[in-house]
A and B are shown apart, each in its own frame.
Chain A
Amino acid sequence: MSAILTVSMIARTEARLIFRSWAFRIFAGMTLAALVLVMVTMTSPTYAAFYFSRALSGAFPLIILKLLNVFQGLMAVIIGTDFLKRDRRTDTTEVIYAHPFANAQYILGKFLGIFASFAVLDLVVLAATAVIHFFFSRSPFAAGAYLAYVGLLTLPTLVFMLGLTIFLGSLIRSQAAVYLITISYIFLTLAIVGPRWNYILDVFGFHTPVLYSDFIGLGNGAELLLLRGAYLLFGLALTFGATMLMKRLGQSPAVGRTAGLAAVACAAAAVILASTYLGGKSADHGFRTAVKAESRNAAAIPAMDLESCDLKIAPRGTKLTASADLSLVNNGPAPVKTILLSLNPGLRVTECKNEAAALAFEQRYQVLKVEAREAVAPGGRIRVSIAYAGTIDERACYLDIDDAKLDAALRIWFVAIPKRYAVVSPEFVQLTPESGWYPRPGLPESELFPAAIKRDYTRFTLTVSLPEGLTAVSQGIPETSRDDRVGRAGSETRFVFKPETPLPRLSLTAGRYVQKSTVVDGVRYGLYLLAGHDRFTPQLKDIAPEIPQLIKQIKDSYEVLLGLNYPYRQFCLVETPIQFTSYDRHWTMSQEQVQPQIVFLPEMGVFCSGADLRAGGNPGAAGGARAASGGGGGTTRTGGGTGARGGAQAGPKDIQRMLVNRFIQSNLTAPQAAGGFAGAGGGFAGAARATAPLGIQVDSNSEARFDIFPDFLAFTSHYDIAAWPLFGYASEAYVHERVGSQAGAIMRIGQGTTVQDEINKYLMDHSLEEALLSGGRATLPVTQILQEKGKTLLILIRAKLGAEDFDDKLLKFLKDHRFQPIPRAAVESFAAGLGRIDLDATVEAWFRDKGLPGFMFDDIQTYRVIDKEKTKFQVKFTVSNPTDKEGVIKVNLATQAGFGGGARSGGGMGASASAPETRTILMPAKTVKDVGILLERAPAMTTIDTAISRNLPGVFTLPFSNQPTKPGVKAFDGEVTRPYIPAAIGADGEYIVDNEDPGFKLPPKGKENWLRNAVRGLFATDAGNSDYISVAGLVNPPDNWEQIVMQSFYGRFVRSAYVKKSGTGTNKVAWTVDLPAAGTYNIYFYYEGLGAAMGRGGAMRGAMGAGGGRAMVGGQAGPQGGGPGGAGGGSAQGARGPNAARMQPGKKHFLVRHGGKTEEIVVDLKEAQAGWTLIGGFQLDAGENRIEMTDRNEERFVLADAVKWVIQK
């Protein structure tokens, strides 16, 4: 007892000393102030980027406690080493040391004293967090989250850091050295090693996936206990260890020995916990390998088709018991004796029966082989009843996704979230087909691809018994009954689902849901939110009666736009835990987030764009978001429709309607493609980023998409064509384009190119086949390549067939083949009905060919013509494809009335707008086409999309400033095709050397500014591996010549130039040409007209803000239409010529060698016109001639593009 009192007195005195130290007071005060500032910022609805912290009960305290953990770790070092310093003052220490206490008591007392000081600080921070959370944050409050974080994050870190500091301080006499070591250690764990090696070195828990969900709590509690427990124990081991290093003569050998033993025991326990944790992680990889191997072994066994499936399931606690009555049909050519089924390996089969007779079975991992007593003949059927129980082993999910991706935590800002693919817990159940929760014939899709995916359309019946209070959601409208038989588990509720159509897949979700539903046009629309999570419908109270009408409008316009109708009688939005994760797949655009009839929304809609109805509902904020063009793609497209109403005049109903539309459009009906853009309008869409105060980037790596499109196509139509495994994906991508957005493809990624540019660059050297095998690149997921390539396949087929009503026919074909596999013959007969095409060769070439076509555009003009006594507007241009690859281009023409996507989404909103004039032009290899398009209205601009091609940039926009009348010129609508004949070089007396040509010479690379590179590296958010720098890079131009792409630059396919920071003139680039004859030549350089390009770039930027893609025109249309979308837009003036703003500054210094001497010519760019600009006329000899340009310039940078020699006759 006395020993404890001594320890407590030492602790009390230490705590008293710490509280009275200014270091602690200042540090604690600053920490508290900083954290309160963060809290206030995050709770403010102004910052949509922080919506997740205002929505998830676990996010707000987590962010604060994570930051506190870091602050506290630093403080612990300072305070811990301070105590050591204090104790080294022998005059004081010796007085203390001469008293009767054990060393262990002293160290323990000191440790507890410091610990208590921090505990008080933590309690104050926690109290402030809880108060602000409870009263201001609007997110649900979960005390469990606080307890979990304190226990698993704060406590282990504090104990470990204190132990480490005290131990090092006892070991090393120099306080400075202890500082240096501990601070370096902190930096190392936070910045470098923290996220690696399964977070084993993440002492602060900064990178470790931790997030509390109201559905399932932490979701990875056991893992965290191991990992964080190891830190806690190791901290204690270090503390006990320090007692043995204490520089004082001990007085109680027994206490010393006990402390030593405690140190060893804690260290051993820590090692056991850590190795159990790591062992589990490595076993996971081994397990996945074994599961895959088992699939390979079973791949040869033919699979039967599942006609019907009667499932009965009863989840209890963390386990479920189930039975499945399967009716299987042998549609193969051979009899089947061994029935191959797959089931999650965590579910163990207890019995297999056929009628009443038991069947032999073997279950290895996910493969279940059932031996029929007699082989099932082709066309024959068999009924198999399977009883099974257990829990879902999530390691068997997503076998097609590589380990690195699976291991990376789901992330929002610096909140790392553990991933869950299935959940069976007492309060919540989430089972999607990926988890293999019911037996299905054959192997899972992830194990089949790239062989043909098996998809059966099955008649399901699902009976779910749940403890009372839980609600089940699955496909079909359930019949509910209550079972009051009092068992140990109390009364039960039984849900029976009988989906009205055959389905390719079935999911089951159960939780404490509160549901809201309405029936519109025979479809039941259900919203399932966890009890206490409905922060949404109160925000829409004014339009509650209109909701059915709103849904009807949206559904109707979507169906019209898509050309396909919704095939089910139910549609549910179901909230799921934040940990529930899904990935893009290679065989379908659908994700596990979307199941037939159901879209799983993340907890509180956190990964959804526009879920922050409260922020959106604030007229100022909403208006601001619309006008500032900072919103997510969907947001601003909606803005195009509704923005004109203006934030200030909009009433609450208008705003609420807008919020509903915005949410539905940007998440469900027309979400961004993967790799989309920030959702300043609220949350995230795809891999996204939003900006918070101080320019903080709040981004997320979630791939989750909630697009309802799969309900219309992926779940209803299946191409059962073994030879074309990607045809389904291509078909989805093509049809999706009718409702989708190109924003993703247009968006500039990291560096200076767009996603589409990156895809093209990749496909120059790789086939689609190679992309699938290699997994693409880190910055360019295969799914993006697939989406772009996929669209192109159908565009190519359409262009080859030349059928104007291709889309209508295709949609009819799809409707006719719903809920049944589509065989190859059906596709071939469909194509044959439209025209002549070798589908096999087309698909084969599309899949295996490398290299891309390239297009050159010439003579683009627009003028008025008289056609049938009416004035019409002629657009005319020539396009050449000099390559040996065929390709397609798409031309979109904006007229004064409206344009592309903007108009379309306007349509979606019920606003009036004319359809865009769009042409798809097939460009066979080595062909030139003169193209004429007749328009009823004056064209404002054209966007030419070269799709999959060598052209860089791949999409460019040309504005038309005026349309002169050309009397007597005939109207022309169509294409005239002629072969491409390459002009002999110099045939017209012109010799052009571009920066892409071999004649262009770069000097050797010089030194780079290491500091700038280091800083760039530190803050680079995208690991872009682009060869091109971005326009933004011109603000801080490179030290060496780097390539930059811009539409206004000279180039055959690639419109690029080199750029370098201005120098002294010693660094030179050169253009060399082999002239066939001596003579007088005029030498021109291509003035890149950056100013003009910036003008257009401005339009582009506006467009990006406005959601990119077609909305690009939003920037253009802004000044004309007066809509807010064009706020950031550039000029609609002519791109070149005197109006172009000259932003490229200074003078160019050329060195021309002629007549045996070198002459320096200085061209002042103020005098220059964009395009070919004369340097001068020179008498040149035949043979190699050279012109150089130095890096000397009076302004920041210098550009090098193309040079032209023109012989004077």
Chain B
Amino acid sequence: MQSIEIKGLTHSYKGGKTALRNVDLEIGSGMFGLLGPNGAGKTTLIRILATLLKPTEGRITIDGLDLQHQRKKVRLLTGYLPQEFSSFPRLSAWEFLDYIACLKGIRPRQKRMSLIEKILEDVGLFEARDRKAGHLSGGMKRRLGIAQTLIGDPRIMIVDEPTVGLDPEERVRFRNLLSDLSRQDKTIILSTHIVGDISSTCSRIALLDLGRVIFDGTPADLASAARGKVWRADVDALDLDAIKTKYPVISAVPSVRGYEIRVVANRYDEGPADSVEPNLEDAYIYFMRLHAAAAAPPDAFVPSEERSPL
């Protein structure tokens, strides 16, 4: 049985903007990547899953529990880390986790204490346990965030854009932490628009664009869908700008002739080019630019400022 089943999920905000359109997903245990550009509907979906938002239509079950009618049980099952987590600045890491543990109904105190101690050690915050949240670094705060999702040992963890703003070292550390957790028979839903976050960790990916699921499968399936659509070519420096206007250029590395470029295209007509094996990033671009664009409905909810340029 799948952990999470989403059927016909649609959500419209006040004012008529539709953030999710008839989304169907089945999510099993392991790490599930929710990929999509800003404004694709990832956060809306995440907030619905975290019982913070009521969907306009559709049905979600989590471990067989109806999300709408059994919120309390669902909340017991889930841990949630929002996009930009911050704790109460005047509470220490320990106090904050203690508060959350209480809310999770963990009694008695002794049990809570040992649990918090372990979690703090797991996320590498034990030394900073008495430091007020206001005095933690960005990465530490994010780790405190993941620590609070771990309280109560939830079966399902919902993590929204966890690595935004972290330095590369913290990002790697964070990925590893999630990766370790995913091995504990948990379902981790990781929402991100950074392909790197999921390429190394997720066993399954859903690609969301303009409120629709445009891909649902394994990373390998995603990559293979872009097979034959990724090209490598050497171009003159003077031609690069013109090429960029025609094709999504994934990379442009200076070379002896000018630039060695990697583009996503159904066909490359600008000169000699080699078809190369796509990676996840190529596939993501392929889906966003070539595959899905044609299918975009005219009233799609695309906040312009949130549409990240490729």
Contacts and interface: CB of A to CB of B under 8 A. Distances in A.
Contact of B104 (A10, A90, A97, A99): A99
B12 interface: no
B107 A98 contact: no
Nearest to A90: B82
B257 to A, nearest CB: 49
Contacts of B95: 13, 16
Contacts of A100: 71-73, 75-76, 103-105
Contact of A249 (B54, B80, B100): B54
B90 A17 contact: yes
A1007 interface: no
B102 interface: yes
Given A6-B102, A6-B105, A13-B91, A98 B86 contact: no
B97 to A, nearest CB: 11
Most buried by A among B71, B99, B103: B103
B104 A91 contact: no
Nearest to B100: A99
A99 B78 CA distance: 8
Nearest to B78: A98
A253 to B, nearest CB: 9
29 contacts: A5-B107, A6-B102, A9-B102, A13-B95, A16-B90, A16-B91, A21-B90, A91-B86, A92-B88, A94-B47, A94-B82, A95-B82, A95-B87, A95-B148, A96-B100, A96-B103, A97-B52, A98-B75, A99-B100, A99-B103, A100-B72, A100-B73, A101-B103, A249-B52, A249-B53, A251-B51, A251-B71, A251-B75, A252-B72
Contact of A5 (B79, B82, B102, B148): B102
Contact of B103 (A9, A20, A21, A249): A9
Given A249-B71, A252-B72, A95 B105 contact: no
Nearest to B54: A249
A8 to B, nearest CB: 9
Q: Label chain A's interface by main secondary structure.
A: helix
Nearest to B71: A251
Contact of B145 (A5, A9, A95, A251): A95
B85 interface: yes
Given A94-B47, A95-B80, A95-B148, 10 more contacts: A6-B102, A16-B91, A90-B82, A91-B85, A91-B86, A100-B73, A100-B76, A101-B103, A249-B71, A251-B71
Contact of B99 (A13, A21, A248): A13
Given A16-B91, A92-B87, A2 B51 contact: no
B83 interface: yes
Nearest to B99: A13
Contacts, number: 83
Contacts of A251: 51, 71-72, 75
B62 interface: no
A485 interface: no
B81 interface: yes
A803 to B, nearest CB: 89
A8 B85 CA distance: 25
Nearest to B72: A251
Contacts of A9: 99, 102-103
Contact of B84 (A86, A91, A99): A91
Given A2-B107, A5-B107, A13-B91, A98 B85 contact: no
B50 interface: yes
A488 interface: no
A1062 to B, nearest CB: 60
A151 B300 CA distance: 60
A1209 interface: no
A899 to B, nearest CB: 73
B91 to A, nearest CB: 7
B71 to A, nearest CB: 4
A20 B87 CA distance: 14
A96 B84 CA distance: 14
Query: Which of the four size classes fits the interface of chain B?
Result: 20 to 34
Contacts of B84: 91
A251 B88 CA distance: 24
A110 to B, nearest CB: 13
A90 B85 CA distance: 9
A101 B72 CA distance: 7
Query: Which of the four size classes fits the interface of chain A?
Result: 20 to 34
Contacts of B71: 100, 249-251
A249 B51 contact: yes
B124 to A, nearest CB: 20
B149 to A, nearest CB: 8
Interface of B: 47, 50-54, 71-73, 75-76, 78-88, 90-91, 95, 99-100, 102-105, 107, 145, 148
Given A13-B91, A251-B75, A91 B82 contact: yes
A250 B75 CA distance: 11
Contacts of A249: 51-54, 71
Contacts of B51: 98, 249, 251
Contacts of B102: 5-6, 9
A98 B49 CA distance: 10
Interface string A61-87: 000000000000000000000000010
Contacts of A97: 52
B80 A94 contact: yes
A1027 to B, nearest CB: 62
Contacts of A17: 88, 90-91
Interface in A236-276: 248-252
A412 B52 CA distance: 56
A459 to B, nearest CB: 80
B225 to A, nearest CB: 34
A89 interface: yes
Contact of B75 (A6, A10, A89, A99): A99
* 8 nearest A-B pairs in the assembled complex, by CB-CB distance: A9-B102, A100-B75, A99-B103, A251-B71, A20-B90, A98-B80, A251-B72, A98-B50
A95 B85 contact: yes
A91 B83 contact: yes
Nearest to B132: A20
Given A9-B99, A249-B54, A2 B105 contact: yes
A101 to B, nearest CB: 6
Contacts of B76: 100
Contacts of A6: 102-103, 105
Nearest to A89: B86
Nearest to B103: A99
A98 B72 CA distance: 9
A101 B95 CA distance: 18
B182 to A, nearest CB: 20
B75 to A, nearest CB: 4
A662 to B, nearest CB: 59
Contacts of B80: 94-95, 98
A616 B109 CA distance: 62
A101 B75 CA distance: 9
Most buried by B among A89, A97, A99: A99
A20 B83 CA distance: 27
Interface in A290-341: none
A94 B88 CA distance: 12
A248 B72 CA distance: 13
Nearest to B49: A98
Contacts of A99: 75, 100, 103-104
Most buried by A among B51, B78, B95: B51
A20 B47 CA distance: 31
Contacts of A252: 72
Nearest to A96: B103
Nearest to B67: A249
Interface in A1-51: 2, 5-6, 9-10, 13, 16-17, 20-21
A335 B148 CA distance: 98
Contacts of B90: 16-17, 20-21
Nearest to B47: A94
Given A2-B105, A99-B75, A86 B82 contact: no
A20 B92 CA distance: 12
